[in-house]
Amino acid sequence: MLRHRLVFLRHGETDWNAEGRLQGRQDIPLNAKGRGQAADAGRIVLNILGPRGLASPDLAFLASPLGRARETMEVAREAMGLPRTGYTLDDRLMELTFGEWEGLTWPEVKARAPEAASWREGDKWRFTPPGGESYEMLTQRIEPWLAELDRPAVVVSHGGVARALMARIGGMPTQTAALADIWQGRALVFLNGRFDWV
């Protein structure tokens, strides 16, 4: 069980999100709506933690190195009244990779690889796309990061990482977590073996 509060923000919207494309490790920038969502998320964090909480030297700010996560962190920090800099990047927080499927929409995947798409729909948690990564593999990747997290944190990452955290520290069954909606412009707060959307 995580001993400290973890405030998780998914990156804001990109054009590929709007088009329903699988982004994975592709470095797609935020669009205007995504920058607005990042600012909204920052104001939510300010409301959750307050100015004193944000100023605490014990509070860590961590982000995926992908550009959409970095920009979300910087816009959110600005909305919190903090400098845009002042956070740490961690490769383990990157989105899972969809391998050969990156850049495709789900209807395109189903048309090109109907059997593999059917397998994924049957077990989204454990299915590994060709050249990609499963949610189960992603969860194993973030285990060492979670073990090192020894203080409260604000984290900007991706939908796959949020689902892994919901299952690993939030108590959600893996198959349910794999299908969970992960909102942009909101905060997902983990504490004491549970989570809440704010």
CB contact at 8 A, 29 and 71: yes
Instruction: Provide the residue type at 133 as one letter.
Output: E
Q: Choosing from 13, 71, 95, 102, which is the catalytic residue?
A: 95
Q: Choosing from 11, 13, 74, 158, which is the catalytic residue?
A: 11
Give how far Cα 62 sits from Cα of 8, 23, 77, 93, 131, Å. Answer: 10, 20, 11, 9, 27
Q: Is the dihedral of CA 154, 102, 114, 138 positive or negative?
A: negative
Residue with tokens 């189960």, as numbered in its chain:
136
What are the structure tokens assigned to 4, written together? 């400290």
Active site residue 78: no
Active site residue 95: yes
Opening angle at CA 22, ends 17 and 27, nearest 5: 75
The catalytic residue positions are: 11, 95
